[in-house]
Amino acid sequence: MSFVEYGDTIKDGDTAIVFLGHESMFPVKVQHGSVTQTKYGVIRHSTDLIGKKYGSKVTCSKGGWVFILHPTPELWTMNLPHRTQILYSTDISIITMMLELKPGSIVCESGTGSGSLSHALIRTVAPTGHLYTVEFHQQRAEKAQEEFREHGVEHLVTVTNQDVCKNGFGVSNIADAVFLDIPSPWEAIGHAKSALKAEGGRICSFSPCIEQVQRTCLAMEESGFTEINTLEILLRVYNVRTVSLQIPDLGKAAEDNSSTGFDSSSPSHQGSSCANLQQGAVQFKSGVPLREVVGHTGYLTFATKS
């Protein structure tokens, strides 16, 4: 199993996603002899998972069922164990596009954090590219290295435990792109410039506060970066539902009553008119924004090495 080389069959040692519904899923490490508890009952790895195809519908011990999915960076972002705040697919998608990443690209990243963006970057630059990721916290760096090994992508990533603001990325003049997600990105702009290739490399900095963005933009300008611009990506989800609305009475019923000689004031006729109005309803699909939506996550500042 690999996050970049997809397989058909679930094997011992794989990381799989147990899918109970769009709002309910979790990762599980497949191990011979192990069991996983769900609200629908027990899943036995040896008999229910190993040897089955990814995407299979698995029946649990209580009679309910789940789907077993092959992991992807998108599914991992939704289910990974949080060691830090993470980037989600809304920001990740614009980052990979604006950094102009493709298979074979060399990318530098700091910090690694929980590895949400890292997995997406690795999938984008595979099979011939490479990710150099720097993490200040030693335990987080070791855990990230372990996850990359379990996910079959360790040959595409180099994890370094050091302070990028003091020691840089450990590479020079080879990176096509640099990504910064640290408290003081302006202190690392010089090292980012050194890591980037001679001309045309792209840099992105993620910061939650506009004051951080201002200082970072000034540092980029002083270091000779061009095309500096800042974006804020907001996701707005709509709830699609069926709405029933009555057809308004525009007077046609009154005209019909006068032409046929019916007494509209009679109680029996009034009841008949009401019934007709109730029957005159139309159903259609309507999109309504959710009452609570995820707002500001951070600002993305992009620039080009001139």
214-238 tens-digit pLDDT: 999 999 999 999 999 999 998 888 8
Indicate the length of the chain as a whole number: 306
What is the tens place of the pLDDT at every residue in 270-280?
544 444 444 57
Contact present, 5 and 153 (Cβ < 8 Å): no
CATH number at residue 20: 3.10.330.20
Q: What's the DSSP call for residue 146?
A: H
Of the three residues 24, 41, 71, the one that is the final residue of a domain is 71
181 among annotated binding-site residues: yes
Q: Is 163 annotated as a binding residue?
A: yes
Dihedral sign (CA 193, 158, 112, 17): positive
Determine whether the annotation assigns residue 135 to a binding site.
yes
Domain boundary among 19, 37, 71: 71
Q: Are residues 62 and 185 in the same domain?
A: no
229 and 88 in a common domain? yes
User: Is the domain of 34 the same as that of 134?
Assistant: no
Contact 188, 180 (CB under 8 A): yes
CATH, residue 223 = 3.40.50.150
Confidence at residue 276, expressed as pLDDT on a 0 to 100 scale: 47
Can you give the pLDDT at residue 291? 80
- Residue 129 and residue 44 in one domain: no
214/168 same-domain check: yes
Same domain? For 93 and 161 the reply is yes
Domain boundary among 71, 86, 103: 71
d(CA 103, CA 126): 5
* Domain hosting residue 27, numbered range: 9-71
Is 249 annotated in a binding site? The answer is no
Residue 251 lies in a domain: no
On whether the CB atoms of residues 235 and 278 are closer than 8 A, the answer is: no
The residue to which tokens 């599980």 are assigned:
28
Low-confidence ranges of the chain (pLDDT < 70): 251-279
Q: How far is CA 250 from CA 246, 260, 263, in A?
A: 12, 18, 19
Residues 183 and 81 in one domain: yes
Whether 245 is in a domain gets the answer: no
For residue 244, is it within any domain?
A: no
Q: Are residue 55 and residue 82 in the same domain, yes or no? A: no
Assigned domain for 277 exists: no
Please provide residue 303's backbone torsions phi and psi, each rounded to the nearest 5 degrees: -160, 165
| Cα dist from 266 to 248, 251, 263, 272, 273, whole Å | 22, 18, 6, 10, 11
The domain total for the chain is 2
Is the same domain home to 110 and 201? yes
Any domain includes 199: yes
C-alpha to C-alpha distances, 97 to 91, 102, 203, 216, 303, nearest whole angstrom:
10, 9, 12, 21, 13
Task: Classify 149 as helix, strand or coil.
Answer: helix
Tell me, yes or no, whether 193 lies in a domain: yes
Residues 121 and 153 both lie in one domain: yes
279 in a structural domain = no
Is residue 260, in this structure, part of any structural domain at all?
Answer: no
- The reply to whether 85 and 217 lie within a common domain is yes
Q: What is the pLDDT of residue 277?
A: 46
Q: How far apart are CA 99 and CA 302, in angstroms?
A: 8
Question: Each residue of 194-211: pLDDT tens digit?
Answer: 999 998 999 999 999 999
**Number of C-beta neighbours around residue 83 at 10 A:** 16
pLDDT at residue 300, as a whole number:
98
Q: Which run of H or E residues covers position 218?
A: helix 210-222
Q: How far apart are the C-alpha atoms of 185 and 177, rounded to whole Å?
A: 15
**C-alpha closest to that of 207 among 87, 45, 100:** 87
Task: Specify whether 17 is located in the same domain as 139.
Answer: no
Give the C-alpha distances (Å, rounded to integers) separating 180 from 17, 48, 164, 209, 266: 29, 42, 10, 14, 78
